[in-house]
Chains A and B, each alone.
Chain A
Amino acid sequence: MPFEGIGAAVRRKEDARFLSGRGNYTDDINRPGQLYAFVRRSDRPHARIGRIDTATAAQAPGVVAVFTGADMLADNVGGLPCGWQIHCKDGSPMKEPPHPVIAVDKVRHVGDPIAVVVAETKQAAKDAAELIDIDYQELPAVASMRDAIAPGAPMVHDDAPGNICYDWHIGDKAVVDAAFAKAAKVVKLELTNNRLIPNAMEPRAAVGDFDPNSGDFTLYTTSQNPHVIRLLMGAFVLHIPENKLRVVAPDVGGGFGSKIYHYAEEAIVTWAAGKVRRPVKWTAERTESFMSDAHGRDHDTVAEMALDADGSFLGLRVSTLANMGGYLSTFAPCIPTYLYATLLAGVYKTPVIYCEVKAMFTNTVPVDAYRGAGRPEATFLLERLVDACARETGMDRVAIRRKNFIPTEAFPYQTPVALQYDSGDYQATLDACLKAADYAGFEARRGAAAAKGKLRGIGISTYLEACGIAPSAVVGSLGARAGLYEVANIKVHPTGSVTVYTGTHSHGQGHETTLAQLVTDQMGVPFDQVDVVHGDTGRIPFGMGTYGSRSLAVGGSAMVKAMDKIIAKGKKIAAHLMEASVEDIEFKDGQFSVAGTDKSKTLTDISLAAYVPHNYPIEELEPGLDETAFYDPKNFTFPGGCHVAEVEIDKDTGVAEVVNFVAVDDVGRVINPMIVEGQVQGGVAQGIGQALLENAVYDESGQLLSGSFMDYSVPRANDLPMITVGTEVTMCTHNPLGVKGCGEVGAIGSPPAVINAVIDALKDYGVRHIDMPATPQKLWSIIQSGTPRMAAE
């Protein structure tokens, strides 16, 4: 039997169906008698809504019903809830204005739903939606945070003066100011972290179904966390008790965070199905995705590092404006606070850190977690600032990093911004990455590029992130309104095959493979006899889903606990069957044996005895071999590593091409190296996209200019290089698998590596900083306007 346990690059179970067109995505689901919903959305950034005339639309061919926000309000439908509450510097809670499922009196961004048409066909619904007459009274809009914070700016919400959602901070400002006062050198950078649109390839979709006999609702939806949706939608929006609401997230075509949140359309189709007593399907057109999926990033930041004379970091001071958009999305408030400012120590022993964050409402699509969520923003800031420190102190950029790294002997390491790192070896990942990237040989490559008329640069990023979210009590104290444990139910069936029911959700990560490998490894069950079930609240126990690279660290740990219970029970059964003492039973490779004898029983012998308990310790033990375990993590996990990017810039066109990219990451123990490599490559691709190509652009009036794949540049095959991935392992010390998480590291570490490389390539042009994306136009302008300093200078 081939080795298919922990560490094996097992090919994926999911691939056969995906490669044959037999995936089961939400839009592939059709229920008998199904109708179609089309959402009429605001094309105005900010407006009062007067009369909404739906009469003509309601009479159009094929139309079954037209609903507005007033209809939902009249039916006692609640607003979309926010799952995290931040408290301000002064202790007051954040402003949390209502977020109606369908806008009622006012629209606050282009794409805000105003009405929904339900019809016999998609085309009929869409045609009729155009017949709805909306009386807009346009209001001045604020599209950028700069505009939103200006005195006298138009207010997005009447109860949020100055458009401020919260004004939050972490750290002791006086102590940090004192560190700056005695610094030999202060280096300051102003940076923007560009707004991104996640763009999973599968557009969001939802099918609502209602069974009039039982009164049960079923929602099929493109979600990363069906139980979270059931809880939020059932308890807060539609007031459907859990026993009457099933949420199914079937095959989901990518998420990257954007499918965590509870969206209006999920509530619309479920509620509408109850109203019209027929199933209702909604599928986003890509244009709708651009203006209704939560966006990511969007920070404006001023960051300062205080250094002593020999280049040691003395203190970090950061002030950030973070865009929330027009409403608070489900987890929006925690992203620029506890997933951002707490990461500002990075891999460095900076002794004191202060960060203040103002979260702003604007007339734009809500902003929430997108791959990395807060950590890419912190990493970009730090790794750009560290490079600037190197340049402005004349130190080598590798040397200044090494000098300030947290040393391996310092773990567990308490940062000044709340987190305690358990393990890591930043010198090791740096060394391995520099070697794999042939850093030492770079100057020769720069020279060769120059001979071709190209500007070549190399950039480094040494980063850390916090994932595996999260200890429930800790996040509860920080404002989370949910627990963040995970659950696994593992059934050993009578004849020895196994089904794992996990609360995590796979939307590309390959859980059906990786989680099965855990069972093969720990219980000796052949890989092809293990199935993993996820994504259906009707089948799986109450788990929290997948985001924040948590599935193995939290969900895998829950599986280990459940397997431990199974093995412990199996030992009791084995002891009974072999007339031995439980203490003498050993379990290895699927065999229960009596120590020091040749007596043994297979897991199948034990499971059969458990379900057919004729010869069984029935007085002491329940039948069955079926265990559930919940795992609440003790800490976050802290993957980290080094990314090196090499770019060549064409002087005539300004196009920057990434010609080499190497990532060496410490993601803890690796279960399936093929999948880890793929996760890192995909993350790096999104990071290169952020650095060079992608930008969500609003004009001053609040119109989204980058609203299609023709305007928003998702990387294509020809925009990217081969991406070399290596791993260096230090084990997570507080979960049973030693795993840390690999889903986001690529997107976190790579953007500053690319921008540092671009700036290195332009080092003779006196460029201090370039905001992302480093487009050809920006770089061409720099090259045109700058006079290269002579090499001899």
Chain B
Amino acid sequence: MPQVTLTVNGKQHTVEVEGRTLLVELLRERLGLTGTHVGCDTSQCGACVVHVDGVSAKSCTMLALQADGTNVLTIEGLAAADGTLHPMQEMFREHHALQCGFCTPGMVMSAVDLVNAHPEGLTEKQIREGLEGNLCRCTGYHNIVKAIAAAWPLMHQKAAAAE
């Protein structure tokens, strides 16, 4: 069987996989990182979104072998090492942007990438359009939109302060 070597949440793994093994299957079933979810089989729901080399990707639509040599960040790796939540996680909690929690990991990972990609600012319309690839059945998105809008200044101020 072919081998894939990749870094997940800062830790390097080398795993033998079938050619058809999906990245999400590698994460969930081989590495035990069950925070990344599978909600559909047509690449529509976004519950499986992770970051591959810093950019959001649907891990159900990527072969594990395609991730060879990449740096993958999953929801388990988003908080600081001491457990301090990422500002996006904190704002999701503060604004009640999750109910059942199933879409949440993918939603948060997409939202982080969306905010990162828009240092100039984000309108409500841009946030809603930016979530095109993520379905939530519980919240009606109202509080997700609020949480992302609230996370934007926290994420960009933090970036500005570090420079």
Q: Which residues of A contact B (CB under 8 A)?
A: 11-12, 14-23, 25, 27-28, 123, 199-203, 251-254, 256, 283, 285-287, 507-510, 674-675, 677-679, 681-686, 708-710, 714-718, 720, 722-723, 746
Contacts and interface: CB of A to CB of B under 8 A. Distances in A.
A21 B141 CA distance: 20
A19 B104 contact: yes
Given A682-B138, A685-B139, A253 B100 contact: yes
Interface in B122-161: 124-125, 127-129, 131-132, 134-145
A200 B100 contact: yes
22 contacts: A15-B101, A19-B98, A21-B75, A27-B34, A200-B102, A200-B137, A201-B37, A201-B39, A201-B103, A202-B37, A508-B101, A508-B138, A510-B99, A675-B96, A677-B96, A678-B96, A678-B143, A681-B139, A686-B137, A709-B42, A714-B135, A722-B145
A587 B66 CA distance: 65
Interface string B67-110: 00000001110110000010001001110101111111100100
Nearest to B74: A21
B36 interface: yes
B135 A682 contact: no
Given A21-B76, A202-B37, A716-B135, A678 B20 contact: no
Given A21-B34, A710-B44, A717-B144, A202 B102 contact: yes
Contacts of A684: 140
B31 to A, nearest CB: 12
Contacts of B98: 15, 18-19
A717 B141 contact: yes
A19 B85 contact: yes
Contacts of B42: 286, 708-710
B145 A201 contact: no
A28 B89 CA distance: 21
A710 B40 CA distance: 10
Interface of B is mostly: loop
Contact of A11 (B37, B93, B139, B141): B93
Given A19-B98, A718-B131, A254 B138 contact: yes
Interface of B: 18, 20, 28, 33-42, 44-45, 47, 74-76, 78-79, 85, 89, 92-94, 96, 98-105, 108, 124-125, 127-129, 131-132, 134-145
A18 B141 contact: no
Given A201-B45, A253-B101, A714 B137 contact: yes
Contact of B96 (A17, A21, A27, A674): A674
Given A123-B18, A678-B139, A251 B39 contact: no
A718 B140 contact: no
A285 B41 contact: yes
Given A20-B76, A21-B34, A28-B34, A201 B85 contact: no
A682 to B, nearest CB: 5
Closest 10 CB pairs of A and B: A21-B35, A253-B102, A18-B101, A685-B140, A508-B100, A508-B99, A709-B44, A21-B75, A28-B34, A286-B40
A708 B92 contact: no
Nearest to B85: A19
Nearest to A687: B140
Given A254-B99, A722-B142, A21 B33 contact: yes
Given A714-B137, A720-B140, A203 B131 contact: no
A459 B104 CA distance: 33
B95 to A, nearest CB: 9
A256 B34 CA distance: 23
B45 A20 contact: no
Contact of A21 (B105, B127, B144): B105
Nearest to B86: A19
A718 to B, nearest CB: 4
B28, B35, B102, B143: residue with the most chain A Cβ atoms closer than 10 Å: B102
Contacts of B47: 201
A283 B47 CA distance: 15
A233 to B, nearest CB: 24
Contacts of A254: 99-100, 102, 137-138
Contact of A681 (B100, B103, B140): B140
A714 B135 CA distance: 8
Contacts of A722: 124, 142, 145
B105 A685 contact: no
A746 B127 CA distance: 24
A200 B79 CA distance: 27
Given A12-B93, A286-B42, A710-B42, A685 B141 contact: yes
A755 to B, nearest CB: 18
Nearest to A255: B100
Given A202-B102, A678-B99, A256 B137 contact: yes
B135 A20 contact: no
